[in-house]
Structure 1
Amino acid sequence: MTLSPDWIVGFVDGEGCFSFSLVKNDTLRFKYQIQGEFTVVQHKRDIALLYKLKSYFKCGSVTQNHGERYHFRVKNLNHFLTIIIPFFEKHQLQTNKRFQLPVFKNICLGLEAKQHFTEEGFNELKKLVKELADLKK
């Protein structure tokens, strides 16, 4: 089975997640690191689908999540900006994730522009991370 863009959109609408987290790190200037990921989780019986996503996007990894659950995960900022976001801008998500994607993109663009190196920029990105989390509720 070859994955079609429409199939991928439907699958990600149901099983995918666009997220950013603030991870405590006392060695950093503002004491937190902003980490993003695009993830799709499946039971190990469907791990072949995760490998097909990895092959389709030509990035990310497939690893054990917990127990018998595995995930396809992308954590690379460049891959977000050049592969994942453009795909979902071209092939629009249908669920609430379509509102999450622009916020996810704005965080990525802020990180790419190194806004997190200033206190003002870091605080703005923190607000966007909270907004993205609120959109997932």
Structure 2
Amino acid sequence: MEKKEIIINNKIYHLSLEFILGFFEGDGSVTIQLKSNPRHNTGKQVILIFEIHQHAIDKDLLKAISIYLDAGKVEIGRKIGEESNWTYRLRISTQKDLFNKLYPILRSQSMVLKKRNNDLNLFLEACKIVEDQKHTNLLGQRELEVRSSKLSSKLNLDSKISLPETFQSLNYEWVRGITDAEGNFNFSIYTRKDKTSSNLGIADPYNNYNKKEVIFRFSIVQENSEITFLNKLTEFFECGNVHMDRKGGGVFTVNNRKELQSKIIPFFEKNELQTIKKHSFLCFKKALDICLKNKVLMDIHYQNLEELKNKTKGNRE
């Protein structure tokens, strides 16, 4: 499928199938469910759902994806607090959309994350069972129950780790999509506890500015069952490293300013993000530029950095 420009509420979204797949791998899910329903001969109704979830601020992107796929509808997912904080979802669940629109697209695709590839294969098998009308008997429904039990959302960490690797290569559009879903552009300003300059390595009692330090971090987080994928990112961007966070998850991180300037910034300038994270990226870029252009940061620089930091508060990360 070709790349398209879709306009929603005067905003232009640049979408491709690879972008949508990457976005789905980060913020999507599939459901295979048998729900009690006495009106059906077997007493159970089969429910198949393909979903992508998003914060209210980016619900128009879900509408654009729905238009691109010509399937599904955007609806409220969760109502928590103010309306601006609600979660929305693009849900594809009707047999017409699943079998005529989504299934023909997905059956020729492979996911990058092994948990998503596992789920996609199970979902496609379930769609085939329903399409062939095998779900109308108890044997077919038992096959659906088995597939439902193997979805990654129902597996423990060890089972996820043991899932087969996909060996799927990364491309620009897919990485753009997964970053819009799971990426994080962050910079922090903190005060050092000693009087040693981080730049010169010597104490300078007359310089109060060296007490502060600015740390930059671009990261993508996944469960540690997806370490292979995170390592692929280091190869793709030709920078960064992979480590475990305090919660035991895997993290791809780029902290080095030169690598951020030469690798990460140019990539996302050329491959534009589509969610609110584009705003976070632009603030991140401006902050990095301030630090790179000024070897010694003065009060005005820290003020500018704080203003940029405040602009990203409340952004979905």
TM-score, structure 1 normalization: 0.91
Relative distance call for 1:116 and 1:95 in structure 2 (3 A) is farther
Where in structure 2 are there 5+ consecutive unaligned residues?
1-167, 198-207
Which of 163, 171, 183 is the aligned partner of 1:4?
171
Relative distance call for 1:134 and 1:111 in structure 2 (3 A) is farther
- Shifted more, 8-17 versus 124-133: the winner is 124-133
- 2:197 paired with 1:17: no
Residues 1-137 of structure 1 correspond to what in structure 2 (within 5 A)? 1-26=168-193, 27=195, 29-30=208-209, 31-114=211-294, 117-136=297-316
Q: CA deviation at 1:13?
A: 0.8
- 8 A Cα contact 1:22 1:33, kept in partner: yes
* Corresponding residue pairs, total: 137
TM-score, structure 2 normalization: 0.41
Deviations 1:59-118 (A, max 9, x none): 110001123301000001111111101101111111111111111110010000117521
SS in 1 for 2:272: coil
In percent, how many aligned pairs have the same letter?
28
Q: CA deviation at 1:121?
A: 1.6
Higher share in helix: 1
Whole-angstrom CA distance in 2 between matches of 1:121 and 1:115: 11
Counterpart of 2:26?
none
Where in structure 1 are there 5+ consecutive unaligned residues?
none
> AA paired with 1:131?
K
Considering only aligned residues, what root-mean-square deviation do their CA atoms show, in Å? 1.7
Kindly name which structure, 1 or 2, has the bigger radius of gyration based on alpha carbons.
2
